[in-house]
Amino acid sequence: MLELTEAARTTAGVVALTVVAIESGGWFLLRVVIGRVPATDFQRSFFRAGHAHAGVLVTLGLVCLLLAEATSLTGGWRWLAQTGVLVAAVLLPAGFFLSAAGAGRTRPNRLVVLLPLGALVLAGGVVTLGVGLLRG
């Protein structure tokens, strides 16, 4: 049986509950695709990307949370390895959805800055986890 720290168990529980939010994003996306919510081609593509990133990164983030329990990382390095992908799972979808928000938008607004920020946190998390796993 895998034993998790209290922090990891709590984080995993909260993240599991976020799947409901991802489902509501899927409902919104369905309404966009069938034409019930008007959207430009740009918005449709960014909404799809945001939804896809949310689902994939939450799943990967839960795996990283568990794998980091098998490392000897401590402090900020352990936090980054365990939660970096989960932080990216918020930043990247937010960047896609929020930068495309607004009637008739055909280009991203300033919130597109969340995309490279999320990508940096994602990379930091997986690299830290990978190094931590290789070092033992």
pLDDT of 104 reads 96
Structure tokens at 130: 């990978």
Question: 133: pLDDT confidence band, cut at 50, 70 and 90?
Answer: very high
* Length of the chain as a residue count: 136
Nearest to 135 by CA among 84, 82, 68: 68
Q: Cβ(115)–Cβ(81) under 8 Å?
A: no
Q: Cβ(109)–Cβ(101) under 8 Å?
A: yes
Residue 110 backbone phi and psi in degrees, to 5: -65, -20
pLDDT of 1 reads 67
Q: pLDDT tens-digit profile of 118-128?
A: 999 999 999 99
The whole-angstrom separation of Cα 76 and Cα 60 is 20
The whole-angstrom separation of Cα 70 and Cα 97 is 34
